[in-house]
Structure 1
Amino acid sequence: MLAMLNRPFQALAPDSSAAGSGGSPASVLDPAALARLAELDPSGANRLLERVLQAFQTSVTRLRPQLSEGRAADDRSAIRLVTHTLKSSSASIGAMRLSQLCAEIETAIRLDPAAELHAKLDALDVALDDTVRAIAVRLGDRG
């Protein structure tokens, strides 16, 4: 389902100066991107937005351990796969800071397999935490 929704949002230009640690849900999840998702289910009867956000949470639950293991083993291929996977799906839900960090890490690995990633991976962990918290708040608001 996320793959289908990614296409319309790939044109969004993530801003790497966007929301940081502890940002409000509105600053972590771009309201315009969420509105575009909501427009796909105008009545809300299919709970599309909720289902997409839950699918993203499930994806993070699966990918986060892979990222941690890749980081611990300095397995750049594993890190690149996780960041590539998260890049588009995070953009599709409006988590633009997370998407931008994923793109930066993926590009750094591609251009320089020995690139120093420690600071970017730390920032990625924070952005993942912020995004998961923002989704939890958003889903809580939906009742």
Structure 2
Amino acid sequence: MLDDTALARLRELDPDGSLGVVGRVLETFRMALGRDLDRLKQARDAGDLKTVGEVAHKVKSSSASVGALELSALCADVERRVRVGDTADIAPRVQALLAEAQRAQLAVAAALGT
């Protein structure tokens, strides 16, 4: 589920793995994603589309960096729709984003061996 090319770029930062860069980046992503998803759910439930867009923007970038490309694409779609005011059918898109985020969390946990 995580893109091999993105993970390879992370490995290039620590070729022999002695610094544990990949593990630290993945763990940081996993922890931040949990907080971001809580914030996204609260914003969605409150009808706070501005915050929904902000969280989608943040998760878009971080998920791309660890290779969760489908999650990044869903975030980009939600962010764009909020930005241009095309929010009539935003709820199912946010739900798809949340479901994909859960898949990404599982993939990161597997990559970390947890």
State TM-score, norm by structure 2. 0.95
**Large movers: runs of 4+ above 2 Å:** none
Runs of 5+ in structure 1 lacking a partner? 1-27
Q: Provide the aligned length of Structure 1 versus Structure 2.
A: 114
**Take 1:114 and 1:133, find their aligned partners in 2: how far apart are those partners?**
29
**Take 2:56 and 2:95, find their aligned partners in 1: how far apart are those partners?**
13
Q: 1:86 to 1:100 in 2, by over 3 A?
A: same
**Take 1:118 and 1:56, find their aligned partners in 2: how far apart are those partners?**
24
Q: 1:95 to 1:46 in 2, by over 3 A?
A: same
Q: Given residue 68 of structure 1, which amino acid in structure 2 is its aligned partner?
A: K
Secondary structure at the residue paired with 1:41? coil
Counterparts of residues 1-143 of structure 1 (less than 5 Å): 28-112=1-85, 114-140=87-113
Runs of 5+ in structure 2 lacking a partner? none
Q: Given residue 33 of structure 1, which amino acid in structure 2 is its aligned partner?
A: A
**Take 1:114 and 1:35, find their aligned partners in 2: how far apart are those partners?**
36
Per-residue CA distance 1:49-73 (angstroms, 9 max, x = gap): 0000001011112111110111101
Say which is worse superposed, 112-121 or 88-97, in terms of deviation: 112-121
Secondary structure at the residue paired with 2:36? helix
**Take 2:87 and 2:8, find their aligned partners in 1: how far apart are those partners?**
40
Identity %: 39
Q: CA RMSD in A?
A: 1.2
- Ranked by relative contact order (alpha carbons within 8 Å, sequence separation 6 or more), the top structure is 1
**Take 1:77 and 1:113, find their aligned partners in 2: how far apart are those partners?**
12
More helix by share: 2
**Take 2:9 and 2:85, find their aligned partners in 1: how far apart are those partners?**
36
Per-residue CA distance 1:93-131 (angstroms, 9 max, x = gap): 010000000000000011115432111111101110100
Per-residue CA distance 1:30-66 (angstroms, 9 max, x = gap): 0111011111100100000000000101111211111
State TM-score, norm by structure 1. 0.76
